[in-house]
A = this chain, B = another copy of it.
Amino acid sequence: MPARHDETLIRALIDDWQDAICSGDLDRVTADHADDIVMFDVPEPVQEIGIDAYRRTWRLFFAHNPAGPERFRIDELRIEAGDRVAFAHGLLTIGGGDAHCRLTLGLRKANGRWQITHEHHSMPLGPG
């Protein structure tokens, strides 16, 4: 089934992206991202549009979160892959703490290659 093969490719892409974030390799973090990516990040602003703005969000993140395997951990990753569109979601732990964030990725296949075109990272609001 193509869908199973695509799911494997996307899982490898996300694994590599996560590893690049943990080690702070910005070129590898952005290697599989579309130029017109729309990013909804944990902190304001409400959205960042385009790969240059996307890179800036990671520079800020790297400045505040030490490198290492606990920098950016994804759990409960689920992937839905079609022929040329896919999405994935999971829980996110930053810095090894107890506070969970959430991650949703949107992907598009262009010229036989999967790219992330949308990311949504967030922290739920607590009481009060």
Classify chain A: how many residues form its interface, as a range: 35 or more
For A43, give its contact among B78, B118, B124 (CB under 8 Å): B124
Contacts of A80 in B (CB 8 A): 85, 106, 108, 117-118
Q: Does A18 contact B (CB under 8 A)?
A: no
Copies in the complex: 2
For A104, give its contact among B78, B82, B104, B108 (CB under 8 Å): B104
A66 CA / B44 CA spacing, docked (Å): 26
Residues on A lying within 8 angstroms of B by beta carbon are 3, 38, 40-47, 78, 80-87, 89, 91, 100-102, 104, 106, 108, 117-118, 120, 122-127
User: Could you say which of A44, A91, A104, A118 has the most chain B C-beta atoms within 10 Å of its C-beta?
Assistant: A104
Contacts of A89 in B (CB 8 A): 38, 40, 106, 118, 120
A-B contact pairs, 16 of them (CB 8 A): A38-B78, A40-B89, A40-B102, A41-B124, A43-B124, A43-B126, A44-B127, A47-B102, A80-B117, A83-B84, A85-B86, A87-B118, A120-B122, A122-B122, A122-B124, A123-B125
Contacts of A101 in B (CB 8 A): 46
Contact B122 A102 (CB under 8 A): yes
Contacts of A44 in B (CB 8 A): 124-127
